[in-house]
């Protein structure tokens, strides 16, 4: 197996260097667009890693190799003098100046470092750490909305991306549901895991680490929103597998659901303005919760906690809730999804729907299910797509993102929980 992984890595490096023998020249387009025109030093790591991972994933890089390449390239980037990339900025009277970097030239330098590392590894491949990747299935659609404002992150190679070598296995997954634009969701997807990796309490108290990471991500976005006049917000749900522990942290109404032994296990309670404790918190701050088609904070946002939404802070809070539980080894899978899914699907319906989605459906015409596609029981691929199709058919008009992280082989789930699905769920997925 190790030999196969090394050969896959060498094959990728060869293809990559054939396409990129050198970094793109100044004036030419970058192969992947940076998220921002200008970045602060605090934002540089998240923006660079995001660009590198997108570039490498689009070219079929093995996940662990891509993470290690990006980590090594960014380490080299920080060793250079970045002052030539500083840009002029207007600073209001009484404010401290913030150093901003021009994204295009600094990311060209990052790509140059990435190519240098790839060349060195092509000549002599370093030992690749064992990184067994869980089977995952993810699917996202714009649905009937004008724009797609959801983002998601799948990072089973968390340790490799951040150079952590303490022997504790880690994996990070998150779903961000933007509103009022996609800036907040994109920012959270690029920076939350970076902020989490920097927390000193990551191993000893992951819940505290998550709370601080959310707070710091929100503050970073506040600075960006101010200088670029952005007004968007985003809910978020993120999980960290660390050793035998699972920590879930969230803002707003995106949700994580654990399934164990074929039964749903509640992990969290989403933040909604009508939730009694949230309503009380908002009113204690001098705000109000009113019904305008749905319950809204001060007549505006339909969520009570989020990244961004600075025109309604502190009523819309950026203080995340967290929960940690010890995994027992009998868990089936973890599902993360935005409210576009959970507004149409009850958590208790998920186990039957997933089992049904794993089974091949009758196809007398031999044309397959064009909306959802056939499942792959060995990998779990296609399951999220079928769940998204079900939520849409059940009436959801919102953006929908569904992510499943299988903690048991999908075929084992079918063997453990029976070969036939309840008629209602089978019919629902065929509609």
| For residues 223-242, average pLDDT | 95
Gap between the Cα atoms of 102 and 61, Å rounded: 27
| For residues 25-41, average pLDDT | 90
User: What pLDDT is stored for residue 319 in this prediction?
Assistant: 97
Q: Domain spans of the chain?
A: 2-123, 136-271+321-430
The DSSP H or E segment spanning 53 is helix 41-57
Helix (H, G, I), strand (E, B) or coil at 67: helix
Neighbouring-strand partners of residue 250: 237, 321
Determine whether 277 is exposed, middle or buried from the number of CB atoms within 10 Å of its CB (0-12, 13-18, 19+): exposed
- How many CA atoms lie less than 13 Å away from 419 in the CB half-sphere? 0
User: What pLDDT is stored for residue 103 in this prediction?
Assistant: 95
Q: How confident is the model at residue 49 (pLDDT cuts 50, 70, 90)?
A: very high
Q: Which residues contact 289 (CB under 8 A, 6 or more apart)?
A: 273, 274, 278, 279, 282, 283, 295, 296, 297
Q: How confident is the model at residue 175 (pLDDT cuts 50, 70, 90)?
A: very high
Q: Is the pLDDT of residue 420 over 70?
A: no
Strand bridging mode 38-40 / 100-102 = antiparallel
Q: Which two tokens stand for residue 241?
A: 């597998």
| For residues 102-115, average pLDDT | 96
Distance of CA 244 to the CA centre of its chain: 21
Matching residue, tokens 């010890």: 326
Nearest to 149 by CA among 90, 236, 255, 19: 236
What's the start-to-end Cα distance of the chain, in Å? 41
Q: How confident is the model at residue 36 (pLDDT cuts 50, 70, 90)?
A: very high
Mean pLDDT of the chain: 90
| For residues 55-70, average pLDDT | 95
Distance of CA 326 to the CA centre of its chain: 22
Looking at the domain covering 136-271+321-430, what would its CATH class be? alpha beta
Selected residue with higher pLDDT from 424 and 133: 133
Per-residue HEC secondary structure of 307-376 comes to: EECHHHCCCCECCCEEEEEECCCCEEEEEEECHHHHCCCCHHHHHHHHHHHHCCCCCCCCCCCCCCCCCC
Nearest to 260 by CA among 324, 322, 329, 326: 329
| For residues 263-292, average pLDDT | 95
Nearest to 162 by CA among 35, 49, 6: 49
Q: Is the pLDDT of residue 214 over 90?
A: yes
User: What pLDDT is stored for residue 428 in this prediction?
Assistant: 45
Q: Which of 39-43, 71-75, 366-370 has the lowest mean pLDDT?
A: 366-370
User: What pLDDT is stored for residue 367 in this prediction?
Assistant: 31
Distance of CA 64 to the CA centre of its chain: 17
Nearest to 385 by CA among 61, 60, 136, 132: 136
The answer to whether the beta carbons of residues 185 and 149 sit under 8 Å apart is yes
The answer to whether the beta carbons of residues 102 and 37 sit under 8 Å apart is yes
Gap between the Cα atoms of 430 and 370, Å rounded: 11
DSSP string, 237-275: EEEEEETTEEEEEEESS-EEEEEETTEEEE------TTS
Gap between the Cα atoms of 280 and 171, Å rounded: 35
Q: Which of 3-7, 130-134, 291-295, 323-327 has the lowest mean pLDDT?
A: 130-134
Q: Which residues contact 59 (CB under 8 A, 6 or more apart)?
A: 12, 15, 16, 19
Determine whether 365 is exposed, middle or buried from the number of CB atoms within 10 Å of its CB (0-12, 13-18, 19+): exposed
User: What pLDDT is stored for residue 363 in this prediction?
Assistant: 39
User: What pLDDT is stored for residue 429 in this prediction?
Assistant: 52
Q: Which of 253-257, 274-278, 361-365 has the lowest mean pLDDT?
A: 361-365
Gap between the Cα atoms of 384 and 310, Å rounded: 33
Crossing angle (nearest 10°) for helices 383-393 and 350-358: 120
Gap between the Cα atoms of 27 and 293, Å rounded: 50
Q: Which two tokens stand for residue 377?
A: 């029981």
User: What pLDDT is stored for residue 260 in this prediction?
Assistant: 95
| For residues 21-41, average pLDDT | 89
């Amino acid at each position: 197996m190790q030999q196969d992984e090394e050969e896959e890595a060498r094959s990728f490096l060869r293809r990559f260097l054939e396409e990129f023998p050198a970094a793109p020249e100044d004036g030419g387009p970058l192969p992947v667009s940076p998220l921002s025109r200008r970045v602060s030093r605090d934002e540089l790591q998240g923006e660079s890693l995001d660009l590198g991972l997108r570039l490498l994933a689009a070219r079929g890089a093995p996940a662990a190799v891509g993470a290690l390449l990006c980590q090594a390239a960014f380490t080299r980037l920080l060793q250079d003098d970045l002052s030539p990339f500083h840009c002029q900025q207007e600073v209001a009277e009484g404010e401290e100046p913030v150093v901003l970097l021009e994204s295009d030239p600094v990311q060209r330098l990052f790509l140059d470092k990435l190519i240098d590392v790839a060349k060195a590894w092509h000549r002599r491949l370093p030992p690749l750490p064992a990184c067994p990747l869980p089977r995952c299935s993810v699917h996202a659609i714009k649905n009937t909305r004008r724009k797609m404002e959801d983002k998601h992150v799948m990072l089973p190679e968390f340790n490799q991306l951040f150079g952590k070598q303490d022997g504790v296995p880690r994996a990070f997954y998150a779903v961000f549901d933007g509103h009022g634009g996609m800036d907040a969701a994109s920012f959270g997807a690029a920076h939350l895991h970076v902020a989490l990796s920097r927390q000193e309490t990551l191993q000893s108290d992951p819940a505290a680490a998550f709370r601080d990471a959310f707070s710091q991500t929100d503050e970073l976005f506040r600075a960006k929103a101010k200088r670029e006049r952005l007004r968007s917000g985003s809910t978020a749900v993120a999980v960290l597998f660390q050793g035998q522990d699972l920590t879930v942290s969230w803002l707003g109404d995106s949700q994580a659901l654990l399934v164990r032994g074929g039964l749903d296990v509640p992990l969290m309670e989403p933040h909604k303005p009508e939730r009694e404790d949230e309503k009380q918190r908002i009113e204690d701050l001098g705000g109000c919760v009113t019904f305008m088609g749905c319950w809204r904070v001060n007549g505006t946002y339909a969520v009570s906690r989020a990244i961004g939404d600075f025109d309604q802070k502190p009523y819309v809070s950026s203080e995340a809730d967290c929960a940690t539980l010890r995994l027992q080894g009998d868990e089936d899978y973890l599902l993360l999804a935005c409210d576009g899914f959970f507004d149409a699907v009850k958590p208790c319906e998920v186990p039957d729907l997933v089992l049904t989605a794993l089974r091949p459906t009758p196809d007398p015409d031999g044309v397959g299910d064009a909306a959802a596609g056939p499942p792959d029981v060995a990998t779990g691929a296609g399951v999220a797509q079928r769940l998204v199709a079900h939520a849409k058919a059940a009436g959801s008009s919102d953006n929908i993102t569904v992510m499943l992280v299988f903690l048991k082989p999908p075929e084992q789930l079918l063997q453990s929980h029976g070969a036939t699905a309840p008629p209602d769920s089978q019919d629902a997925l065929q509609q």
